[in-house]
Amino acid sequence: MQLTVPSLSRKASAGFAMLEALAALLILTAGAVGVLWWQQQATLRQQQQTYQFIAMALASDLADRMRINASQSALYAMHWGESRQTTQDCFANACSWTQLAQWDIAQWQQALRAQLPKGDASVYSLRGQTGWWAISVGWPANKISSNSTTCPAHMQCWNLWVRPQR
């Protein structure tokens, strides 16, 4: 008894090679899409870390301003979305402590708008903690809702607690 191996015709071989090439192309495409997705996620994380670093610096700056002008701490209070302007220039001219607080918050909000795109902030006294203030700086985040009572929905926040009294 003699065994024979069936051979594929040239047409069948060419069709099989084409199928192999398509499968390899599909696998290569899936790998490239995966690498691009990882790159996008890394870029988004890096952007969020940069925003957090900026928010930390801005909150620290405002806390220092509040410590310098501790007697006027209440004038630094503001709500989300609030904007303050002043015509006073405490850098060029002497100011009262009240004018300094108004100028500080206006200057600080300009820095917030310049350094943190679509950023916002809130400054409020902490309930039950006499003399303590919270500074919340927020920026847009890729999340559906906030799990914090101090941060608006669709924002990520950095919170700093400060006691400006001397």
Q: Note the pLDDT of residue 99.
A: 93
Give the confidence band of 165 by pLDDT, cuts at 50, 70, 90.
Answer: confident
- Let me know if residue 7 belongs to a domain: no
Q: Residue 140 belongs to what H/E stretch? A: strand 133-140
- Let me know if residue 65 belongs to a domain: yes
Number of domain units in the chain:
1
- Let me know if residue 3 belongs to a domain: no
* Average pLDDT of the segment spanning 129-143: 88
DSSP state of 122: E
- Let me know if residue 5 belongs to a domain: no
Q: Note the pLDDT of residue 17.
A: 82
- Let me know if residue 39 belongs to a domain: yes
List of residues 6+ apart from 99 with CB closer than 8 A:
86, 88, 90
pLDDT surpassing 60 at residue 39: yes
pLDDT > 90 fraction of the chain, expressed in percent and rounded:
59
- Let me know if residue 2 belongs to a domain: no
Cα dist. 109→31, 36, 64 in Å?
45, 37, 15
Mean pLDDT value across the chain: 87
pLDDT > 70 fraction of the chain, expressed in percent and rounded:
87
- Let me know if residue 6 belongs to a domain: no
* Average pLDDT of the segment spanning 97-110: 94
pLDDT surpassing 90 at residue 115: yes
Domain limits at 78? 13-162
Q: Note the pLDDT of residue 3.
A: 65
Question: pTM of the full predicted structure?
Answer: 0.76
pLDDT surpassing 90 at residue 1: no
Q: Note the pLDDT of residue 2.
A: 66
